[in-house]
Copies of this chain bind each other. A is one copy, B any other.
Amino acid sequence: MQARNATAAVIGAGDFIGSAIARKFASEGYTVFAGRRSADKLAALKSDIESGGGHCEARGLDARSEEQITAFLKEADDHAPLEVCVFNPGANVNFPILETTERVFRKVWEMACYSGFLAGREAARLMLARGQGAIFFTGATASMRGGIGYAAFASAKAGLRAVAQSMARELGPKNIHVAHLVIDAGVDTAFVRERIRQRGGEEALAKLPPDQLMNPQSIAETYWQLYNQPRDAWTFELDLRPYREVW
């Protein structure tokens, strides 16, 4: 691996998609600035990347804080030019409408939409100063459709998608590639596997067909490919789902 004088910021570097993206960019020589709520939970990612010869800076980060987001991205850009910023936090909850408290509604929005706006805007500010960069937002089925029980989550994700669209139209001509990736299926996470086990028992888990769930690495690969698109043919939006998914 050849180290590059460039950083990739991953906001919401959770155990699955976020950390797979971090590992991918690290493996390509980028210094990765990985942020998530609890810095402790980033230790494994950091040591994993570094044992592979990569470079990872792990930071505790409350993405809902303008001050923290600004400082996090500034530090990344001070380290080396911020070339890509990935906004990944999810906040998937499901409640009947009468049981959706104002606290839940607000919190989900703050985590999944408001913080995405902050991250996108601050990344854009740094990138515009150098005239290039890429800002990618992770979407979900709920970005496109308000299903039963998803008033809070779908509202936040649809709102994030609108931010991404608005930024893409303004920043594209300024050489900033903004994209929105719609992850339209279950990712292979401990949480999803546990849910399958609870519903169908150990047997359901054992019989899970190969490639039924999305491997975070496969998703990360798509972020990498988008990042490498030449600017005469940029994608704003694409969907991703496993071959067996019903949609």
Q: Give residues in A with beta carbon < 8 Å to B.
A: 66, 96-98, 100, 102, 105-106, 109, 113-114, 117-118, 120-121, 124-125, 128, 142, 145-152, 154-173, 175, 177, 188, 211-215, 218-219, 221-222, 225, 229-247
CB pair A117–B105 under 8 Å, yes or no, is yes
Bound complex: CA of A219 vs CA of B148, how far in Å? Answer: 26
| Bound form: Cα–Cα A160–B157 in Å | 11
| A16 CB → nearest B CB, Å | 13
What's the Cα separation between A194 and B148 when bound, in Å? 30
Give 17 A-B pairs besides A97-B120, A102-B118, A142-B162 with Cβ atoms closer than 8 angstroms: A66-B102, A97-B170, A100-B117, A106-B114, A109-B113, A147-B165, A147-B166, A147-B169, A149-B166, A155-B166, A169-B247, A211-B232, A215-B232, A218-B230, A218-B233, A221-B230, A235-B240
* A96 vs B166: C-alpha distance when bound (angstroms): 9
Q: Is A215 a contact of B243 with CB atoms below 8 Å?
A: no
Residue numbers in B under 8 Å from A125 (CB-CB): 98
Q: Which 7 A-B pairs have the closest CB atoms?
A: A146-B165, A146-B166, A218-B233, A238-B238, A159-B159, A146-B162, A154-B162
Partner of A148, one of B98, B154, B169, B245: B169
* Residues of chain B contacted by A235 (CB below 8 angstroms): 222, 238-240
Determine chain A's interface SS by DSSP, over half rule: helix
A220 closest partner in B (C-beta): B233
Set of chain B residues within 8 Å of A142, measured between Cβ atoms? 162
Pair B240/A151 contact, Cβ less than 8 Å: no
In the bound complex, do residue A155 and residue B149 qualify as a contact, i.e. CB atoms below 8 Å apart?
no
Are B238 and A232 closer than 8 Å at their CB atoms? no
Instruction: Give the nearest-CB partner of A64 in chain B.
Output: B102
- Chain B residues closer than 8 Å to A96, beta-carbon distance: 170
- Please give me the residue from chain B that is nearest to A167 by CB atom: B97
Please state if B242 and A234 are interface contacts (CB–CB under 8 Å): yes
Cα–Cα distance between A100 and B121 once the two chains are bound (Å):
8
Are the C-beta atoms of B245 and A230 separated by less than 8 Å?
Answer: no
Task: Establish whether residues A146 and B169, one from each chain, have CB atoms under 8 Å apart when the complex forms.
Answer: yes
Task: Check if B241 sits within 8 Å of A236, measured CB to CB.
Answer: yes
Q: Which residues of B contact A239 (CB under 8 A)?
A: 235-238
CB pair A155–B240 under 8 Å, yes or no, is no
A243 shortest CB reach to chain B, Å = 4
